[in-house]
Amino acid sequence: MMKKVFAIAAALLLIGTTAFAQSFGAGYVQSTKTDGSSSVAANGFYAGFGYTAKFAPGIALNPGIYYEFLTNSSAGSVGIPGLATVSGNSKTTEHYVNVPLHLSFSYSFAPTFKLFVYGGPTASIGIASNTKSTTSTSTIIGSGSSTSTNDNYASGNYSRFDILAGGGIGAEVMKKIRINVGYDFGLLDRDNSENSSLKRNRLTAGVAYVF
C-alpha cells in the first residue's frame, strides 16, 4: 500500500513539474550501498527539471523529476601466474528516476546573490539494474573466458523502490545559476530477502540553470 501511495505521489509531481518546470539541473552522484558491515560505491550523474514555488519570503517548495545513472566495476584474480589463474571482473549499471519534494530557505546577501538550504524526501524508482560479469581462466594447456549478464531486479530480491531523506546547501548567482551540494539517506531496505539488508545513501553536487 505504501508503495502505491508514493507511486501516485511521484506521478502527480511528474505531471506538475513537466507543466511548470523552472530550472534544468545536472551534476555528479556518488551512491553507496551498505550491506551489514560492507559497502559498495558507484559513481554517475543526474539530470532533470525542477520547480520553485515560493509561498513566503525566503521559503519555497521545490518539487522535481530527475534521471540518475550509476556504474561501478570490480575485478580480481586467484591462482599461480604461469601455471593456472582465474580472473574475473564485473560492471553494474543502474538507472533511476528520482522525484524530490524539498523545502528550501534562502537569504539574499545582494540582489544577484543568495544562499539557501534545503531538505525533504525523495521518491526513488529503479528503472533498470544489470551486472555484466566476465570470467577468464588461464592454464599451461590453454585459456578461455565466459561472459554473463544478470538483471538484478528479475529475481525480486532487489527492490526497485526507495525513499531518500536528506538535504543540502547552495547558492544562486545572477538569479540564473544555482550551485548545490547535498546528501541523502536511504530509508528503506532494498534487499527483499529475509537474512540481509541493503540501504543506499548518496552524495550529489550539481549546477542548475533557472529560466
In CATH, the number for domain 2-72+95-129+160-210 is 2.40.160.20
Tally of CB atoms within 10 A around 5: 10
Tell me the whole-structure pTM to 2 decimals: 0.84
Helix (H, G, I), strand (E, B) or coil at 47: strand
Domain ranges (residues) in the chain: 2-72+95-129+160-210
The pLDDT assigned to 148 comes to: 85
Which residues lie closer than 8 Å to 154 by C-beta, 6 or more apart?
none
DSSP 57: T
User: Cell 559513481 appears where?
Assistant: 43
Query: Residue 2: its pLDDT value, please?
Result: 47
Query: What pLDDT is recorded for position 7?
Result: 55
Give mean pLDDT, residues 187-195.
88
The DSSP bridge partners found for residue 83 are: none
Angstrom distance (rounded) from CA 48 to CA 64? 8
Among 70-84, 106-120, 124-138, the range of highest mean pLDDT? 106-120
Strands 84-110 and 59-80, how do they pair? antiparallel
Number of alpha helices (DSSP H) and beta strands (DSSP E) in the chain: 1, 10
Residue 142 pLDDT: 66
